[in-house]
Amino acid sequence: LYYVLDKPRISDRQYDALFQELKSLERDHPELITPASPTQRVGEQPRQGAVKAEHGKPMFSLDNTYSQEELAEFDRRVRDGLPQKARFQYVAEPKLDGASVEIIYQNSVLYRGITRGDGRVGEDVTENIRTIRSLPLTIDESRPLTLRGEVVILSRDLQAINQERSAQGEEPFANPRNAASGSLRLMDPRLAAARPLRVYLYDLVETYYGTHSAMLDAIEKLGLPTHGLHEVCRDLDALFRYIDAFRERKRDLPYETDGVVVKVDELNHREILGYTARFPRWAIAFKYAAEQATTEILEIDCDVGRTGALTPVAITTPVFLSGTTVSRASLHNIDYVNELQLGIGDRVTIEKAGEIIPQVVKVVDVAHREPWKPPARCPACGSRVERSKNEVALRCPNPACPGRLKAAIRYFAHRSAMDIDHLGRALVEQLVDHGFIRDIADVFLLPDKRSELLELERMGEKSVDNLITAIEQARGERSFQQLLTALGIPLVGAVAAGIVAKKYRSLDRLLKVPDDELREALAEMHGIGPKIAESIAGFLADPKQRRVLEKLVELGVRTVDVDPSPTVGMGPLQGLSFCITGVLSRPRREIEGDISRAAGQVHDRVKKGTTYLVAGEKVGASKLNTAKKHGTKVISESELNAMLAGVR
């Protein structure tokens, strides 16, 4: 409900409480743990190197087209390849930009995940695939399913990951595709679990359904994650209409797409059309040209980051680009500006990277002027900027710089941190300039200043109320991990914050830990290196920072944390008894072991009170008769598997 349909029926808090309850049940009764338990998504053991796995059927790539004409040619080839009177239709669907995988279910249970690799042999990434929360560990279908789809990272999640990487001094991922494929192949499933991977399935190798569209509908019904955006198109015109509409629609999707895939719907027609060495003849990708616009540079400004780093930004004549009016475009860093030899008045091409942040990609027309020179002073506070040897960035060294404060507030309020909606760039600007906010804790003073806030620019009753509600939520409903992330401690992103939060559970408690004890504890934490440890300890020892933290506590900032409530437990087969007979897919002893681990009883023959007879192949008639006599229900091996997995 939460990950696939986006319609949770319980709150995160209730979910966490249930999860903790399950964990404590399993702690007390380890014999009840089944591989399909949600607690078992994340394995403890690193993968054993890159283990190869062969695909049952090769995974093909797709040919690309970039224009209506090319697509019309594809349509002609399809028509020529099919018998004259053949009636057929197309399906159009998004081309997701991630890493392709094969995911296999056997006996209703998620069994295996394999990367595409070279199309014939990939890498076994089952352990990492299991960490994808949108992917059910068990399904209500006992036939084998060999599914294919795309593992992606949502655009907003990528932003947070990249923030984390920058905080750790690591290179951010250039695009969601690299992020997805890098994460999928991580050796430690615990690290993979920290990456919010999603998967969207778009293919089933088994031909249970006559058409692609029927297959997509069927797997969606099973609760498997699909993109849900396919449409049947009867002819070329309908395809063009889909492609046109999708140009707009894709902007609102939470993940990146790089075009539309067109497929022949009927599986029997696909067989007739066949494959070239690399591509199917029944499918093709339509790719949109990157949307670009030409505009003029009016000014080059520098944005001040919370660490003081200056990032050059081009202020341009407003132009319309992929759905929004753009008047600022990123220039990455000073070296990039120098490389382009950029100057005021130049005409440049801008492009949206990942459809979000526009950036300058090239100069088309040079104005007669001097190339731009980086500022010698911080544009926000006038301090002399510094450039350290190994860095591309220029820095403002002034810790009290209002530009740095503004960036720190934006970081504090960011989705991946305290998640305070309505505290956008323009408002932060005003709040700092008018002296409402002098440090991050001051955000929590704002609800008491309703009438003053109403006097700010573009702040009506409604916006002020929205802001206050958002701040009140942040005051009482964020996790300690979010709060720790939000502080912007150098090198500490969400992952490191999570590790520390788990140990100390609240800011109040963390502040009471003596310095030497803290340093000792940090040194022993798995996942906290010496540099991060030093940064955290140094931050907490700094009297100025401590004052801000104490102020947060005084202002009533309370984080939520779920207490594991120990309760007495049962296995999924508690109170049930089973007798096994016939030829099964694995040794009987193994199955019996699974039943008792799930708290079920094993009877060696059907007797009065035996709940189920698990019948494999070639079951004798006498067994079935005895079962009938005692009212014992006869079930298949896959029904048993589903019960073992906790599905009834």
User: What residues act catalytically?
Assistant: 95
Stretch that binds ligand IVH, among 162-170, 242-250, 280-288, 357-365 (CB under 6 A): 280-288
Q: What residues form DSSP beta bridges with 112?
A: 104
Whole-number Å distance between alpha carbons of 582 and 28: 34
Residue 60 in contact with ligand IVH, rule: CB under 6 A: yes
Binding mask 147-186 for ligand IVH (x = CB under 6 A): ---x------------------------------------
Which has the closest alpha carbon to 627: 603, 610, 640? 610
What single letter denotes the amino acid at residue 410? R
Nearest approach, Cβ of residue 284 and ligand IVH (Å)? 10
For CA atoms 411, 417, 418, 421, the dihedral sign is positive
Total residues interacting with ligand IVH, rule: CB under 6 A: 15
Stretch that binds ligand IVH, among 22-30, 55-63, 264-272, 567-575 (CB under 6 A): 55-63
Is the separation of the CB atoms in 178 and 165 below 8 Å? no
SS3 at position 413 = helix
Nearest approach, Cβ of residue 96 and ligand IVH (Å)? 4
Residue 93 in contact with ligand IVH, rule: CB under 6 A: yes
Whole-number Å distance between alpha carbons of 343 and 175: 28
The residue (of 238 and 525) whose beta carbon lies closer to ligand IVH is 238
The residue (of 232 and 602) whose beta carbon lies closer to ligand IVH is 232
Nearest approach, Cβ of residue 3 and ligand IVH (Å)? 19
Distances (CA, A) of 57 to 99, 101, 102, 116, 125: 18, 13, 10, 11, 18
Residue 62 in contact with ligand IVH, rule: CB under 6 A: yes
Stretch that binds ligand IVH, among 94-102, 453-461, 561-569, 634-642 (CB under 6 A): 94-102
Is the separation of the CB atoms in 204 and 215 below 8 Å? yes
- Could you give the strand order of the β-sheet that contains 577-581, starting from the edge strand earlier in sequence? 601-602, 577-581, 612-615, 633-635
What per-residue string of b and e applies to 581-602 under the rule 16 or more CB within 10 Å gives b? bbebeeeeeebbebbebbbbbb
Nearest approach, Cβ of residue 145 and ligand IVH (Å)? 16
Nearest approach, Cβ of residue 5 and ligand IVH (Å)? 20
Closest residue to ligand IVH, Cβ-based? 100
Residue 283 in contact with ligand IVH, rule: CB under 6 A: yes
Nearest approach, Cβ of residue 257 and ligand IVH (Å)? 8
Q: Who's near 15: CB < 8 A, 6+ residues apart?
A: 2, 8
Enumerate residues 232-261 that contact ligand IVH by CB under 6 A: 261
Stretch that binds ligand IVH, among 16-24, 93-101, 327-335, 396-404 (CB under 6 A): 93-101
Stretch that binds ligand IVH, among 88-96, 403-411, 545-553, 599-607 (CB under 6 A): 88-96
Rounded (5°) CA angle 308-333-345: 115
Q: Who's near 617: CB < 8 A, 6+ residues apart?
A: 582, 583, 584
Stretch that binds ligand IVH, among 92-100, 159-167, 429-437, 477-485 (CB under 6 A): 92-100
Candidates 96, 329, 340, 342: give the one binding ligand IVH (CB under 6 A).
96
CA 95: distance to chain centroid? 17
Binding mask 195-224 for ligand IVH (x = CB under 6 A): -------xx---------------------
Enumerate residues 510-549 that contact ligand IVH by CB under 6 A: none
The residue (of 62 and 407) whose beta carbon lies closer to ligand IVH is 62
Nearest approach, Cβ of residue 562 and ligand IVH (Å)? 37
Provide the residue count of the chain: 648
| Rounded-to-10 torsion of CA 371, 376, 382, 387 | 120
Which has the closest alpha carbon to 551: 476, 472, 442, 418? 442
Nearest approach, Cβ of residue 262 and ligand IVH (Å)? 10
Residue 95 in contact with ligand IVH, rule: CB under 6 A: yes
Stretch that binds ligand IVH, among 91-99, 204-212, 318-326, 381-389 (CB under 6 A): 91-99
Phi/psi of residue 296, each to 5°? -110, 140
The residue (of 247 and 449) whose beta carbon lies closer to ligand IVH is 247
Which has the closest alpha carbon to 493: 154, 182, 180, 169? 169
The residue (of 280 and 447) whose beta carbon lies closer to ligand IVH is 280
Nearest approach, Cβ of residue 171 and ligand IVH (Å)? 24
Task: Quickly tell me which residue has 């437990």 as its tokens.
Answer: 569
Instruction: Say if residue 352 is exposed, middle or buried (CB neighbours under 10 Å; 0-12, 13-18, 19+).
Output: buried
Residue 285 in contact with ligand IVH, rule: CB under 6 A: yes
Q: How many angstroms separate the most distant Cα atoms in the chain?
A: 99
Candidates 34, 100, 126, 181: give the one binding ligand IVH (CB under 6 A).
100
Residues of this chain that interact with ligand IVH (CB under 6 A) are 60-62, 93, 95-96, 100, 116, 150, 202-203, 261, 280, 283, 285
